[in-house]
Amino acid sequence: MAVSKGFDIFVSGIPAPVQESRLRDLLHPYLLRQGIVHYEITKGKNKGYASIFIHDFARGQAFLNVMQKQNSLRLHSKFTLNFKRSNGPNAKDSRFVKQKMAQVEASKQRIGRLLVGNKSLVILIDHPYLSGTWQHRLDMSFKDIYEIMISRGNSSSAFITVYVAPKLYSAEDNPFPELQNLNLATNRNRAAPPKKIRVPSLNDGHAKVVGTCFVYEVILGDDLALSSLSELLRGGPEMPSTSRMDIHSVNPTRSYDAQMEDLRNALSHDWHGTLPFTVRFQALKIVREGRLSPDSMTALIPELVEFGSKGIPEQTCADAVRHLLDGMDSPHPALPAGDYSKESLIRRLRDAVSGSLKDSSVYRAVKENSHLALIHHVRITPCGIYMEGPSPEVSNRVLRLYTDNKDSFVRVTFSDEDGGRLEVQYSTNNDGIWNRIHALLDGALRICGRDFTFLGFSQSSMKSHTAWFMTQFVDPKTQDRIFPLLVIRNIGEFDNFRSPAKCAARIGQAFTDTNVHVVLESTGDRYDLPDVEKNGRCFSDGCGLISPELADKIMERYPGLKGRPQVNAFQIRYLGFKGVLSRAPDLIGEQLYLRLSMKKFDCNEPNHLEICGIADKPLPLFLNRSLIKILEDLGVPAQNIFTLADKTMKDLLRHIDSPINIANFLESEQIACAAGLPRLIQHLDDIQIPLVDDRFLQSVVELAAIVRLRELKYKGRIPIKNGMKLMGAMDHTGTLKHNEIYCPWIDVNGYRQVHLGKVAVTRSPTNHPGDIQFAQSVDVPINSPLRELHNIVLFSQYGERDLPSQLGGGDLDGDLYDIFWEPLLMPPGRCNPADYPRLPAINIGRIVTVKDITTHFVDFMKSDNIGLLSNHLMTLADRLESGTRDKDCIAIAELISNALDFAKTGIKPDMNKLPKFDRRIKPDFMAPGPHVNIDSLEASLQFVEQDEKNPHDPVATLDPDQRKIVYYKSDKILGRLYRMIDEKGFYDQLRANTRADAGPHASVLGRVLEYVLAASEGIIFNQYTDLAKDIRSDYETNLDNISYDYSLHPGHPLHEVEVVTGCALGSIFNRRLKESVSSMREQFNRYVAHTRSAICTDDDGNIDEALPRSIACLSVAVKYPGLKRTWAGREVELKSFAYVAAAVCLEQLELFHGGLLRRYGSKSKGNGMMIYKG
């Protein structure tokens, strides 16, 4: 193989954002002075280094001598570039290969091809005996590639470093592929095109390393092939980062398999109690992520055992291991070899342990909140098994039963390599992946010496492809050995079930998240209440009654309800019952009234009333695309929708045109409220420090506004002011007449309100035109027991059919109902509600086994096509004149209904009944919008239009059945709404309303600190400086963890502003991120609430020193840099702690001055002090 004899130079000290072209312009004159005209400069995107390959060895050496002697070449007048020769194997290269290349000898060299497409890179490995045919295929999306390094080391090679394992495929077994082209079948029965087979590994050797192998070396034929690849990778903005550096591959001294075996042995026991499971879990987590070799971690085990033997708390040790590599770059040839040495890692561990004075806020948050549990997670992909967490989660019945053994339970999620759902594609055979998942569900997960086996799942967790696993343990209270079947028996009696789906759903009730539980003295105060049934319909399906005394007892224990209006409906789990209990003012004492429709299985203990949801306030109501489409088909004029949309856009701009409006906007949207930012903005306005001077606070407002606008454009999310979302129950008094509803609510001022007259009632999701019905909203007599109720909608028990069942098959066990009376949205007519036949759950004719339930779980994942069917419905409805009222659309709506019921029936929707239409043609409003990126330096938004697909994309030709989507200009409401909203223009206008030259955050915060110090003259706070540093470190570590835990992609964490605001840009288009955003908000809110508490409150619960403690935190935040992390390839500093501290500090200062904050720059009349010296 030809290897070039040119001269390679490594250049460092380059600011990461600098483009390759800018560097070339800078260096070109210096190269010309040495007579160098043939050279290549390669700099990866957002990398701080570059390489220069000079074809003439002698001239290259001369150029390097000049640059090293000069040692003064500067970029942007302040960055000094460093030049050195890159040649030959060295310690850095060797360590890089050992750390990142999992097992070189396991991968034999194979002949193949490397294809560079528009959005992905594919490695094809040729079939050994079929010329021109591939046998194996590795697909790497550009977003999954960290970097491609071009090397002329041992050979001309490309080292591809990925964040996640590639998708692996084998060609379908077919020894005679040429026969595929022969017409051996009729048109009607012609065979489908050959499928590719998704596989977990390429061969047995690859299977040992595939889950942790994140570098693949592709040896190229010669320098010409290398140059061609370099040119291909210089394409558009979506191309992965590319750099050049000579890397000389070396084989590890020991096989990866042998290394892992030693590590498994070391982590399989607790070393006489000195190495707890929580610590071992973190050690294995790092290795599974491919961040450290097994041998490197094994070398640290004695140090961890030593920590345990010295009595260092296990949580401190676990945290030290969890954050061992925080702030360190991944192993790389440009890094000093010593960074990952045993000595360096031990030093980092010791520093972390000695610097931790107390438990981290993660552990303290769980200790302080009885409804939270710290849970370890496992993520299983086609290629690997990865550890995550632990993280605080809302507890459930099972965890409360075994509160001392929570480490014996883990949550296991099955996903694709990038964290997304395993998608079912027509062109791909996934049987091998489903078999792998089934084998793991039916077998055991071996984690640090413990065998975890399948336990169960709630209905909501099944939708996210997540299940609970547990390992056997001895209950310290009873000394009984606890194992999965015993846990299920302790939940209730399930031997009478014959349907795996229904049995799994009933067991799943015990895994529902429950915030509060109340221990009832006995079952003597529980009474049976008959169901209200008529015409085969249950009007009271899922709802019972609760006495005021018991309801108030729940309210006292429920988090966040102190001082709030009374709650009148609770979503509950109790023994084998589930549903909603509405407050019955006429009941005395602690009483429950339960109906037969609420009973799902037999259970006698524990006698705990568990609360998984409450109706404490009316929720805001919004239009969405499916609802807009149905309203259009029911005759609502297009102009009415546009009027509301236009008002929404104008309101957005108005909400951000002044500090008080901004604060109110953030408050109303519940954005950054836990961090105190709305109040901080009000305080800045009070003391007259301009908000526009602060880039971070501007970015919070801009992100919140643009996310809301994108929700309007791409989701049709338009606020309905005359409407609300309420939990439903039945009027048990019989006061309401047929088709009447009663929906009083408490407004923001604390007053009772009730709308009288005609209203529209619906329930999400809306798929059938009959999912919107009319009702008469009424008030009740002043002496009615219903008069005391509010923030709930009560339905009548009269009529031929109950109203909830007419709204997409709703019931009263916790469903939320949309009620609106907005004149612009009231349709002139309605359609009859859907009345699909009820499908009985599959009956297997015997007792349900664990294997039956795991099969149902896998079948659900394989048939999870609700999103696909919903898109088909939206596409077809836009084309047809009658829209959703067309018989084909109604047929799809029925398929969606069956898909929604699959979790409880086990019956898959019959996709053969899907109407035939060209699915390649879609309306323009379903086209993907531009990517919106956050610039890490400015925290400003950048709109990146997606390029049209290259028709000659070589990767696309591999999958000819995946044809290009064609978008047409829709003339319906959704199409016109989509085109009327210019998000880029809106953002430009938004930025124009603020100062484009906003200063760094330190300038505003510095003024706040100066103000606070002057206004609190005489208060000593320096004694709290170390405490403030600890609080900040805790906060920033937790925020950093959240940014990774809830990101779409392991290599692309959320931006700090996305975490603080709870507005993730990708959530507009990605269902998984949208589902996790609310969980992310809850997690961050818990952490920031704990941070605020830690600032104000000492260990004894006293708040006397809240002001000096908060001043210390603000001072530390202003004077010392925050946690630095890599984001989008650049080093950025976390900033938000300073704003949390500033918010608390100004709140405490306001209390200190009796509720008054003077202007920044004014004098205090009380003591004559100068608050600001101008």
More confident residue, 1120 or 53: 1120
Most confident range (mean pLDDT) of 59-68, 221-230, 1074-1083 is: 59-68
pLDDT of res. 563 = 75
pLDDT at position 1000 over 90: no
pLDDT at position 1121 over 50: yes
Average pLDDT over the chain, rounded to an integer: 86
pLDDT at position 190 over 50: no
Which residues, 6 or more positions from 342, have their beta carbon under 8 angstroms from its beta carbon?
Answer: 296, 299, 300
Which residues, 6 or more positions from 1000, have their beta carbon under 8 angstroms from its beta carbon?
Answer: 695
- Please count the other Cβ atoms lying within 10 Å of the Cβ belonging to residue 472: 14
Please report the sign of the dihedral spanned by the C-alpha atoms of residue 282, residue 284, residue 287, residue 293.
positive
pLDDT band of 72, cuts 50, 70, 90:
low
Q: What is the distance between the alpha carbons of residues 393 and 377, in angstroms, rounded to a whole number?
A: 11
pLDDT of res. 933 = 60
CB contact at 8 A, 883 and 632: yes
Residues paired with residue 942 on neighbouring β-strands, in sequence order: 933
pLDDT of res. 2 = 39
Helix axis angle, 850-862 relative to 431-442, nearest 10°? 150
pLDDT of res. 106 = 39
pLDDT at position 110 over 90: no
| Minimum mean pLDDT range among 102-111, 615-624, 627-636, 803-812 | 102-111
Which residues, 6 or more positions from 765, have their beta carbon under 8 angstroms from its beta carbon?
Answer: 626, 808, 870, 896
The percent of residues in the chain predicted with pLDDT above 90, rounded, is 55
Please report the sign of the dihedral spanned by the C-alpha atoms of residue 513, residue 517, residue 523, residue 527.
negative
Joined together, the tokens standing for residue 154 give 């041992």
Rounded to 5°, the CA angle 807-812-815 comes to 65
Joined together, the tokens standing for residue 541 give 């399906």
Joined together, the tokens standing for residue 663 give 């604060």
Q: What is the distance between the alpha carbons of residues 1069 and 703, in angstroms, rounded to a whole number?
A: 16
Joined together, the tokens standing for residue 1128 give 């989008």
Q: What is the distance between the alpha carbons of residues 216 and 123, in angstroms, rounded to a whole number?
A: 10
- Please count the other Cβ atoms lying within 10 Å of the Cβ belonging to residue 571: 21
> Which residue, among 410, 399, 390, has the nearest Cα to 371 in the 3D structure?
399
pLDDT band of 274, cuts 50, 70, 90:
very high
pLDDT of res. 255 = 87
pLDDT of res. 362 = 72
| Minimum mean pLDDT range among 288-297, 848-857, 933-942 | 933-942
| Same fold: 7-85 with 620-655+718-825 | no
Which residues, 6 or more positions from 78, have their beta carbon under 8 angstroms from its beta carbon?
Answer: none
Q: Are strands 931-934 and 941-944 parallel, antiparallel or unpaired?
A: antiparallel
pLDDT of res. 79 = 67
Residue range 901-908: mean pLDDT, rounded: 94
* Helix H or strand E segment including 212: none
- 967: buried, middle or exposed (CB in 10 Å: 19+, 13-18, 0-12)? middle
Q: What is the distance between the alpha carbons of residues 875 and 884, in angstroms, rounded to a whole number?
A: 10
CB contact at 8 A, 1150 and 1142: no
Residue range 107-112: mean pLDDT, rounded: 62
Residue range 127-142: mean pLDDT, rounded: 83
pLDDT band of 310, cuts 50, 70, 90:
very high
pLDDT at position 1080 over 50: yes
Which residues, 6 or more positions from 104, have their beta carbon under 8 angstroms from its beta carbon?
Answer: 97, 249, 250, 251, 252
pLDDT of res. 1101 = 83
Provide the 8-state DSSP code for 726.
E
Please report the sign of the dihedral spanned by the C-alpha atoms of residue 327, residue 330, residue 334, residue 338.
positive
pLDDT at position 97 over 50: no
CB contact at 8 A, 256 and 294: yes
CATH number at 620-655+718-825? 2.40.40.20
Joined together, the tokens standing for residue 1008 give 């706040």
Question: What does the DSSP assignment read for 26-41?
Answer: HHHHHHHHTT--SEEE
Q: What is the distance between the alpha carbons of residues 1169 and 1159, in angstroms, rounded to a whole number?
A: 13
Joined together, the tokens standing for residue 1067 give 């959530």
pLDDT of res. 15 = 76
What class has domain 7-85? alpha beta
pTM: 0.86
Residue range 282-305: mean pLDDT, rounded: 94
Q: What is the distance between the alpha carbons of residues 614 and 489, in angstroms, rounded to a whole number?
A: 29
pLDDT of res. 583 = 96
| Minimum mean pLDDT range among 156-170, 321-335, 740-754 | 321-335
| Minimum mean pLDDT range among 207-221, 241-255, 384-398, 894-908 | 241-255
Task: Note the Cα 829 to chain centre separation in Å.
Answer: 40
The CA dihedral of 431, 437, 443, 446, to the nearest 10 degrees, is 130
Most confident range (mean pLDDT) of 27-36, 755-764, 1161-1170 is: 755-764
Dihedral pair phi/psi, residue 566, rounded to 5°: -60, 145
pLDDT of res. 1128 = 60
- Tokens 């709305």, residue? 678
pLDDT of res. 42 = 80
Provide the 8-state DSSP code for 1066.
G
pLDDT of res. 655 = 86
More confident residue, 348 or 246: 348
Q: What is the distance between the alpha carbons of residues 95 and 92, in angstroms, rounded to a whole number?
A: 5
Provide the 8-state DSSP code for 780.
-
pLDDT of res. 952 = 67
CB contact at 8 A, 581 and 546: yes
| Minimum mean pLDDT range among 24-28, 255-259, 1111-1115 | 24-28
More confident residue, 679 or 1128: 679
Tell me the per-residue pLDDT of 690-737, one tens digit each, with 9 for 90 and over.
887 788 898 899 889 988 999 999 999 999 999 999 999 999 999 999
- Tokens 């846990």, residue? 487
pLDDT at position 1001 over 60: no
> Per this entry, what is the length of the chain?
1174
> Which residue, among 815, 812, 618, has the nearest Cα to 732 in the 3D structure?
812
pLDDT of res. 1169 = 32
Q: Where are the domains of the chain?
A: 7-85, 91-180+201-244, 254-356, 370-491, 512-615, 620-655+718-825, 850-917, 926-992, 1001-1152
Tell me the per-residue pLDDT of 369-409, one tens digit each, with 9 for 90 and over.
788 899 999 999 999 999 998 988 899 999 999 999 999 99
Tell me the per-residue pLDDT of 810-828, one tens digit each, with 9 for 90 and over.
999 999 999 999 999 999 9
Q: Is the preceding omega at residue 744 within 30 degrees of 0, hence cis?
A: no
* Helix H or strand E segment including 727: strand 719-730
pLDDT of res. 89 = 42
| Minimum mean pLDDT range among 105-119, 858-872, 899-913 | 105-119
First to last CA, the chain: 73
- Tokens 């039956």, residue? 852
pLDDT band of 1170, cuts 50, 70, 90:
very low
pLDDT of res. 765 = 93
Phi-psi region of 727 (alpha: psi -120 to 50; beta: other; left: phi over 0): beta
pLDDT at position 511 over 50: yes
pLDDT band of 104, cuts 50, 70, 90:
very low
Three-state DSSP state, 725: strand
> Which residue, among 823, 792, 795, has the nearest Cα to 807 in the 3D structure?
795
pLDDT of res. 569 = 96
Residue range 100-118: mean pLDDT, rounded: 61
pLDDT of res. 182 = 38
Q: What is the distance between the alpha carbons of residues 807 and 223, in angstroms, rounded to a whole number?
A: 67
pLDDT of res. 1108 = 96
pLDDT band of 753, cuts 50, 70, 90:
very high
CB contact at 8 A, 1138 and 1000: no
